[in-house]
Chain A
Amino acid sequence: MAGRHTMGKATDIVHGTIELLILKTIGMEPIQGWGAAKRIHELSHQVIRVREGSLHPALVRLHAQGLIRPHLVQSGNRTKRLYSLTNAGRAQLRKELARWDRLSDAVDAIVHPEGVKVDKV
Chain B
Amino acid sequence: MRGKAIDIVQGTLNMLIFQTLAEKPLHGWGIRERIHELSKNALQVRVGSLYPALSRLQKRGLITFRRVRTKKGLMGKRYNLTRAGRAQLRQEIAHWDRLSAAVDRVAHYAKGYANEQITSQPAPRPTSVPAPQSPSNPRLM
Contacts and interface: CB of A to CB of B under 8 A. Distances in A.
Contacts of A9: 11, 92, 95
Contacts of A54: 141
B10 A4 contact: yes
Given A10-B12, A21-B103, A43-B109, A15 B38 contact: no
> Looking at chain A, what size class is its interface with the partner chain?
35 or more
A47 B115 contact: no
Contacts, number: 193
Interface in B108-141: 108-109, 112-117, 120, 122, 125-132, 135-136, 138-141
Question: Chain B, interface size: which category?
Answer: 35 or more
A3 B96 CA distance: 16
Interface string B1-43: 0110010011111111001100000000000000100111011
A32 to B, nearest CB: 15
A109 interface: yes
